[in-house]
Amino acid sequence: MQEATSSKKILKIGTRGSPLALAQAEDVKARLVAAHDHLTADNVEIVVIKTTGDRILDRHLMNAGGKGLFTKEIEDALLAREIDCAVHSSKDMPTHLPDGLALTVFLRREDPRDVFMSASVDRFKDLPEGAILGTASLRRRAQALRLRPDLKVVTFRGNVQTRLKKLAAGEAEGTFLARAGLNRLGMSDKATETLPVEDFLPAPAQGAVTVEVRTSDGAMMELLKPLHCRETAVAVTAERAFLRALDGSCRTPIAAHAALEGDRLMLRAQLLSLDGTQVFEKTGECAAEIDRAADLGKDIGARIREDAGEAFFTELARAIEAEIE
């Protein structure tokens, strides 16, 4: 984009091509147009970029690199000035970004909880003994096995629609999805059961959409300011700081959720073994400020790492390697 105020120059928003990713990008586009009189739908373009993670459908993403698989090509396009900003699900973002890029905007967070989906039972706990549960998330796997060690867990990959098709085809008797994604797709009625946070603490940053920009592009940052939700930014900052402290990735069953209560930020965080038999959990609070939130997440991460001990991480890595071979 040559000039932020130009009515002729096209502003380009980069995104993945899944229905959910497109819905999130369209939401950002609509918000930008509503916030600025000089922008119209005609001069804001959504650019679909296929990522490595979208191409890998035949094996677990842990075998190929983890979180960055859903962002690298988009970030490359952003750095090359082929797009002006990028819309992401915050939980897909690595904790370390490429030089020259930043997450400066977080939309107001959707419902961060998980939902259980099944064609045969109404509640997760009602799955029959030894039932097949489909999920690609190590966190959800660990949390499910913590409550139901009898279940057989198989890898379920793909976007929301693909996973629902697999469920309908009988490849598993149940699966999990994020309620935020269903809500954004207008499919909230598809959820069989919304899972309590007490049993299924969400992934760090789940339900929050973020916009990534070049740190040198002050004009784009100004355009995006009206979309920013400070409460979401504070909460997600704490959760991502916790994730960073544990070097969290797709290879680690980690959960965290922060929320504001008045002028205080409350954070609950977990680290689990792959089979759910070990759970390390901490809670904490701080003033609802970005810097304090980052410190809180870092501190809780350090405390959980100390409680777990390095032997736990060694054994976790060994268990995961054996699982994905």
Catalytic residue numbers, as ranges: 92
Write out the E strands in 107-151: 114-117, 132-134
- Burial readout 217-256 (b: 16 or more C-beta within 10 A, e: otherwise): beebbebbeebbbeebbbbbbbbbbbbbbbebbbbbbbbb
Distance CA 323, CA 201 (A): 23
Contact yes or no for 136/35 (Cβ under 8 A): no
CA angle 192, 198, 199 (to 5 degrees): 60
Are the beta carbons of 173 and 156 closer than 8 angstroms?
no
Encoded amino acid at 252, one letter: T
**Where do we find the tokens 């054994």?**
315
Query: With contact defined as beta carbons under 8 Å apart, do 260 and 44 qualify?
Result: no
C-alpha distances out from residue 104 to 11, 69, 228, Å: 17, 21, 8
Alpha helices in the chain (DSSP H): 19-35, 52-55, 72-79, 138-147, 160-168, 179-184, 218-224, 230-245, 290-308, 310-324
**DSSP-derived secondary structure for 192-235:** SEEPPTTTSPPPTTTT-EEEEEETT-HHHHHHHGGG--HHHHHH
Q: Which amino acid is at 291?
A: D
Both structure tokens of 11: 């502003």
Distance between CA 121 and CA 202 in Å, rounded? 22
Order of all β-strands in the sheet with 264-272:
254-261, 264-272, 279-287
